[in-house]
Amino acid sequence: MKLIQATRSRLVFHLGQRENRLLRQVLKLYPRVPSAHQKLSKSSRLPDAEANQRLLDEALAERRAENKKHLQALLADPRRFAHTETGGRLSLSPAEVEWVLQVLNDIRVGSWIILGSPDEKRPELNERMAPDFAAMETAGYFEVQLLEALRGET
């Protein structure tokens, strides 16, 4: 993934064929963080904690549904995510880059949670865990690429 054009209003990236395919595949995994993972508070001493937790869960579910719809539109928009002879071209505003980073982070962290939140030591992989590990690593790769492009912008 290479930044090929940058203005204040637009960042354009070139992706090789494999990167283009991988980015599309990993973005389709959104959302990955389990819905019950976000707790309103670590303490249960809040008044009406159950009702407030339900409100949080509903708000998060709504936000995820909006993000999913926006993501599907992005992937389908040939002006934003275009196929080229050598792979693909991704055109995003700086705000959209930030949003895609949030989506990728959800995929990376959600995959990590699904894997059992392993520490820095690489988990022992098996057939069941391999897709989640690949999703975690791939999302992390694209996060780094986007962050490096943003850093070069400032």
pLDDT in tens, 25-61: 999 999 999 876 666 656 666 677 778 778 888 988 8
Q: Which residue has the tokens 């001493």?
A: 45
Evaluate whether residue 22 is within a structural domain: yes
Evaluate whether residue 6 is within a structural domain: yes
Q: The pTM is what?
A: 0.86
Each residue's pLDDT tens digit, 121-130: 776 788 999 9
How many structural domains compose the chain? Answer: 1
* Torsion over CA: 76, 18, 83, 6 (sign): positive
Evaluate whether residue 127 is within a structural domain: yes
| CB neighbour class for 141 (10 Å; exposed up to 12, middle 13-18, buried from 19) | middle
Residue numbers of the domain that contains 141 = 2-39+49-153
Evaluate whether residue 44 is within a structural domain: no
